[in-house]
Amino acid sequence: MDHLLDTARLVLARHEPRRLADPTTVPAAVLILLYEKEGEAHVLLTERTHDVEHHKGQVSFPGGASDAADDDLRITALRETFEEVGVPPEEVEIIGQLDDLVTISNFNVTPFVGVLRNSSCAFEPFEQEVAAVLEVPLRHLRDDSNMELELLQRRGRPVLVPAFSWGPYRIWGATARIVKQLLDLISTS
């Protein structure tokens, strides 16, 4: 059994996420779904189709904008995960959340971290939104040779942002920033 899931539980129980209150942004949530596969911790990512409205072809976590019917952003993350990859909300144990972040497309994203209760749960991608389901070992993401820092300009200032590689896929943008925060939290314990 991989100790990273236990470490994530402990770290996230103590983590106080930074919340952003900006009425000019669109509230959204994603689910960082962790699970054990073949004895090691994995994280679920998706490659978005080119038919979706935002972030076409990008690697992302299941998630999206909040609906009026969603009681809170946790519900949004669970609903979107069910819609995109077929994981029922009752199969996910929410163990914490990471810091909010605003994307360049003006979404205020709240990342929730959950553990899949049943590791044999099958992923069923919704073909109009999900081109591929990516089951990425956390060990791979923790390997520094699979991450690079890119120098970008934000509001006229240079910033270093992470990007990860997984086979032919590139994990960048808000998804990479979320992955990096999770890895940093796990590594500090």
CATH number for the domain spanning 130: value is 3.90.79.10
Residue 63 near residue 77 (C-beta atoms within 8 A): yes
Q: Domain range for residue 119?
A: 3-140
The CA angle 182-40-135, to the nearest 5 degrees, is: 70
pLDDT value for 151: 83
Q: Is residue 184 part of a domain?
A: no
Instruction: Provide CB contacts within 8 A for 187, sequence distance 6+.
Output: 142
Q: Cα–chain-centroid distance for residue 83?
A: 15
Q: Where are the beta strands (DSSP E) in the chain?
A: 26-37, 40-48, 59-60, 63-65, 92-97, 101-102, 107-116, 130-137, 147-154, 157-166, 169-171
pLDDT value for 49: 78
pLDDT value for 123: 94
pLDDT value for 53: 60
Q: Is residue 148 part of a domain?
A: no
Q: Is residue 173 part of a domain?
A: no
CA distances from 64 to 20, 55, 188 (A): 17, 11, 29
Q: Is residue 34 part of a domain?
A: yes
Q: Is residue 183 part of a domain?
A: no
Q: Is residue 58 part of a domain?
A: yes
pTM over 0.85: yes
pLDDT value for 31: 98
pLDDT value for 137: 95
Q: Is residue 151 part of a domain?
A: no
- Closest by Cα among 36, 48, 45 to 2: 36
Distance CA 116, CA 184 (A): 21
Neighbour-count burial of 143, counting CB atoms closer than 10 A to its CB (0-12 exposed, 13-18 middle, 19+ buried): exposed
- Report the number of distinct structural domains present in the chain: 1
Average pLDDT, consecutive stretches of 10 residues, N- to C-terminus, the chain (189 residues): 85 95 93 94 89 68 93 96 96 97 91 91 87 94 92 80 92 94 88
Distance CA 34, CA 115 (A): 5
Query: What amino acid is encoded at 59 in this protein?
Result: V
